[in-house]
């Protein structure tokens, strides 16, 4: 069984009606090792390019490596052991970088918010194309920064594994147990009308 065969509605129910496409997107790990063509990857970056951006700063940067290549091996070395256990079957690895200072020396505020919006566009576009894109923060950002020769004010925020859906049975037992769409907190826990009531 492939992770793409899983029905997200078996695990997720919205509190209020939303477009089904949003609910269907999740972050599987099971990939089949098939090559990702460069044109498809550029389409993902094109979607990321059109994200909302405070002050139109567009302060996101994406560094990518296709599998197989020496660059892919380098990017793979940035990952922690838990993510290396399944990312070797990815067709591409991406390092997401946040440029915190503008070319004129001004702090880009809110810089991380801009980058997050851009990443979500990329993730949604990948799902629309039938590709798996799994974002991760389990990697060595300092090593990535040094190996990618990044300026001091450019900060690696996350990595994304992109690939074609694979068989869940090829994952480790631990990851097989985690290969399902996760739920979310009830909207009542995260949405507030007006200020919080003071604690007595």
Residue 128 in any domain: the answer is yes
Please state the domain count of the chain: 1
In this structure, is residue 28 part of a structural domain?
A: no
CATH number at residue 113: 3.40.109.10
The answer to the question of residue 6 being in a domain is: no
pLDDT digits (tens, 9 = 90+) for 6-55: 999 999 999 999 999 999 999 999 999 999 999 999 999 999 999 999 99
Q: What is the chain's length? A: 200
Asked if residue 1 belongs to a domain, the reply is no
- Determine the Cα–Cα distance for residues 116 and 153; give it in Å rounded to an integer: 17
**Per-residue pLDDT reduced to its tens digit, 44-98:** 999 999 999 999 999 999 999 999 999 999 999 999 999 999 999 999 999 999 9
Residue 7 counted as domain residue:
no
In which domain, by residue range, is 62 found? 36-179
* 3-class DSSP assignment, residue 79: strand
Structure tokens at 186: 């009830």
Considering the domain boundaries, does residue 88 fall inside one? Answer: yes
In a domain, 194, yes or no: no
- Answer whether 86's CB lies under 8 Å from 179's CB: no
Tokens of 130: 């039938």
**Angstrom distances, CA of residue 43 to CA of 32, 59, 158, 194:** 21, 19, 19, 40
Rounded to whole angstroms, what are the CA distances from 36 to 14, 155, 162?
A: 33, 26, 8
Inside any domain, residue 75: yes
């Amino acid at each position: 069984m492939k992770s793409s065969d899983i029905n997200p509605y078996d695990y997720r129910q919205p509190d209020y009606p939303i477009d089904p496409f949003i609910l269907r997107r999740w972050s599987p790990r099971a990939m089949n090792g098939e090559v990702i063509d460069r044109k498809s990857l550029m389409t993902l970056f094109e979607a990321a390019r059109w994200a909302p951006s405070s002050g139109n700063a567009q302060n996101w940067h994406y560094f990518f490596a296709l599998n197989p290549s020496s660059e892919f091996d380098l990017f793979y070395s940035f990952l922690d052991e838990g993510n290396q256990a399944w990312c070797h079957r990815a067709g591409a690895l991406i390092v997401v970088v946040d440029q915190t200072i503008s070319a004129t020396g001004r702090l880009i505020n809110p810089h991380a918010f801009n980058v997050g919006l851009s990443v979500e566009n990329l993730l949604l576009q990948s799902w629309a194309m039938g590709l798996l894109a799994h974002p991760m923060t389990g990697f060595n950002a300092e090593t990535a920064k040094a190996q990618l020769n990044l300026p001091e004010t450019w900060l690696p925020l996350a990595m994304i594994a992109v690939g074609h859906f694979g068989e869940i049975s090829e994952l480790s037992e631990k990851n097989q147990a985690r290969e399902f769409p996760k739920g979310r907190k009830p909207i009542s826990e995260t949405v507030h009308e007006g200020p919080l009531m003071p604690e007595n």
